[in-house]
Amino acid sequence: MLARHADPIAAIATAPGRGGVGIVRISGKNLAPLIEAVCARSLKPREATYLPFRDAQAQPIDQGLAIHFPAPHSYTGEDVLELQAHGGPVVLQLLLARCLEAGAAICVRVAQPGEFTERAFLNDKIDLAQAEAVADLIDASTEAAARSASRSLSGAFSSEIHALRDALIHLRMLVEATLDFPEEEIDFLQKADAHGQLSKLKHTLAGVMRRTEQGALLRDGIKVVIAGQPNAGKSSLLNALAGAELAIVTPIAGTTRDKVAQTIQIEGVPVHVIDTAGLRHSEDEVEKIGIARAWTEIEAADAVLFLHDLTRAGGADYQAADAAIAALLTEKLPPRVPVIDVWNKADVEATAPAAGLRLSAKTGAGLDTLRRKLLEVAGWQSAPEGVYIARERHVQALRRVDAHLSQAETQLAAQAQMLDLLAEELRLAQNALNQITGEFSSDDLLGVIFSSFCIGK
């Protein structure tokens, strides 16, 4: 634990701006002198008391509720004081300044971003996955994301990780016992069905990985880029998906010169849709820059909507240009990125090639099919009620666990000759699990995670 973690900290815990109520939060050891100075009395534990908050001359700054949570029964595990005042920014700044002044003797300082939640983690009130869920709950933009973050905060995700870890520790114990007592005639591993235990562990891990990938998708969403020739209806499609006139639409080819982005929600999954400049050869310097930016966005996409114009589908020049774009997409995109062929202007032209989706950005026909297709290519399978929020680092950690367990299977099949390597793979798998909940984490990792929080958390 770093030296700064011993300092009492204070911060405004509500969002910037005006509101009916604002909160100043203080956490640290032995807050009694500060409480006496600001509240002019002691407070009963966990009982809201209405009183004036006093300045250094004993004059009231404001009146509100004061609540004292003695350690260890608080959010941070330390003594916590919450002062609930009127939510004007000047009032809250005056109250925070008074707390810093009154707490000077015990070295109270302004909290860093996420430091309250960091202390909750360091004091074993929550684990690292739950701490991240606090930020995800605050940032949730949909009901599904909020409910999933709440499940992670309550420990649903952590419980699954702990169950995996406990099973892994038991298997490690058997392997270590075999290594420690090689002269024993009893084959510990065979008797304890180590093969069966490892297979069951991998099966359980596979289920956790599926749910974690769904949770990461619910949190981060997917980036979808609309690409195609000019005047195929890319901007119209963005407007139709977003339900708003975000991009300028005209019959003039090359109207879109730069990307236009909008995040939409499909069954609670964020889909970041990006409209790009039409792909063609151009001598116009501004349009060339727009086309270059379009390819940059395409190369970073999770999925590409290759939009075609049904009304021009029979033209030889149009087909040749589409074929050239398709070849470049194949060249520039990794195989994992799906390219969805979408044929627009179905309200004008009735026939369409067999491959691809047929829709009308003008009338909205076919948009629901496209939305379902986007969820399909994203890998969305679970209903929101069964998903806990997760992050990409959780997904990557579980993939490392899976890789180590696969290696462990290979070593176990070799029996005694490879038991030391088997033990090492199991140890590495456990380390990867521990990184999710924070039983083993570097200070650098903690700094990155908690720095993304707001000040009052």
Per the annotation, binding residues for (6S)-5-formyl-5,6,7,8-tetrahydrofolate are 25, 82, 125, 457
In sequence order, the 6+-apart residues with CB closer than 8 A to the CB of 414 are none
Q: Which of 11, 46, 236 is nearest to 117 (CA)?
A: 11
Alpha-carbon gap, residue 374 to 306, rounded angstroms: 13
Q: What SS3 state is found at 362?
A: coil
Q: SS3 sequence, 10-55?
A: EEECCCCCCEEEEEEEEEECCCHHHHHHHHCCCCCECCCEEEEEEC
Phi, then psi, of 310 in degrees rounded to 5: -60, -35
Binding site as annotated, residues for K(+): 231, 250, 252, 255
Binding site as annotated, residues: 25, 82, 125, 231-236, 250-256, 275-278, 344-347, 457
Residue 300 tokens, joined: 């970073």
Alpha-carbon gap, residue 129 to 162, rounded angstroms: 11
Q: Which of 252, 438, 456 is nearest to 447 (CA)?
A: 438
Binding site as annotated, residues for GTP: 231-236, 250-256, 275-278, 344-347
Residue with tokens 């986007």: 374
Q: SS3 sequence, 282-324?
A: CCCHHHHHHHHHHHHHHHCCCEEEEEEEHHHCCCHHHHHHHHH
Binding site as annotated, residues for Mg(2+): 235, 256
Burial of 5 (0-12, 13-18, 19+ CB in 10 A): middle
